[in-house]
Structure 1
Amino acid sequence: MFVSVVGGSRCSRQEAELAEEVGAELARRGVTLVCGGLSGVMAAACKGARSAGGTTVGILPGSKREDANRYVDIPIVTTIGEARNVIVVCSGQAVIAICGEYGTLSEIAYALRHKIPVVGLNTWSLSKGGQLDRSIIIAQSAKDAVDKALAAINGRGD
């Protein structure tokens, strides 16, 4: 099973701790973590997964494997810049979005476009026509985010 974790390349200590908890929880459940492979939320999630014995995949924007954060087990170079966000998202069976900026927003949009479940932790909310769009499954904690992502993958939606 693969879950993509997306979030900002710059993050606060609190956001990093949350991402690390998500990564560790995914690893404890035997899930492979996919991310953009760089710093911030991506590095923290990979660190958590690695600390719990998990496997991490980093989909890199450039051509150098050494650009990956030190917790990436499998660095994949793309040379396509931010367009790699589509690959990050589509490589997961679900997406967990942690905080983030516009790159994270694009990943959320790609996931929803491709019918990939998105679980949000302190991330973007969406509205359309003045109405709140409830496409993002809201989580309250790292464990809750992983529970909801796995439920969505398994078709339970709870």
Structure 2
Amino acid sequence: MKQIGVIGASRCDAEIYEIAYEVGRLIARRGYILINGGLGGVMEASAKGAMDEGGLVIGVIPYSDKNLANEYCTAVIATNMGHARNMIIVHSSDALIAVDGGYGTVSEMAIALKEGKRVVAIKPKVILDGLLVAENAEQAVDMISD
């Protein structure tokens, strides 16, 4: 079963939240497992979307306390690794979808691209060599499904 990483900021506005929610919903609808950082913002939205479709969500949190994950994670991996947990998300994902995001998201995109993984971004703040850009959630999920 394909595991898709969804990456983005832990705080976002309503527009980005809605896009991330739709990404999660479409990932679950395709029967993929969603992996993300297990916190708020894009991570919470995508997890909620996947859960609302009956999908499986794995949250890889930077803390040692599993209870700090958002309520939409099916399973939580508590790493106590801070930002280093980004490596786990990238290496556990077959492909990644970035929604907006900040420095942490850019680092995950860069690591994934360096590892030869497909990375699709919606509303990226930075364009990296090899990054695919989608206009919306449906196009992004189609691009990682190829």
Q: TM-score, normalised by structure 2?
A: 0.97
Equivalent pairs, count: 145
1:137 aligns with 2:99: no
1:124 is displaced (CA, Å) by 3.2
Separation in structure 2 between the aligned mates of residue 94 and residue 112 of structure 1, nearest angstrom: 10
What CA deviation, in whole Å up to 9, does each residue of 1:5-28 have, x standing for no partner? 000001010000000000000000
1:120 aligns with 2:121: yes
Moved over 4 A (4+): none
After TM superposition, the structure 1 = structure 2 runs for residues 6-155 of structure 1, keeping only pairs within 5 Å, are 6-126=7-127, 133=129, 135-151=130-146
Separation in structure 2 between the aligned mates of residue 136 and residue 120 of structure 1, nearest angstrom: 7
Separation in structure 2 between the aligned mates of residue 91 and residue 143 of structure 1, nearest angstrom: 22
SS of the residue 2:24 aligns to: helix
Q: TM-score, normalised by structure 1?
A: 0.90
Unaligned runs of 5+ in 1: 128-132, 152-158
Separation in structure 2 between the aligned mates of residue 140 and residue 96 of structure 1, nearest angstrom: 12
Unaligned runs of 5+ in 2: none
CA RMSD of aligned residues (A): 0.9
Larger Rg: 1
Q: Structure 1 vs Structure 2: percent identity of aligned residues?
A: 43
Separation in structure 2 between the aligned mates of residue 8 and residue 125 of structure 1, nearest angstrom: 14
What CA deviation, in whole Å up to 9, does each residue of 1:62-81 have, x standing for no partner? 10100100000000011111
SS of the residue 1:126 aligns to: coil
Separation in structure 2 between the aligned mates of residue 83 and residue 93 of structure 1, nearest angstrom: 19
* Native 8 Å contact 1:125 1:136 kept in 2: no
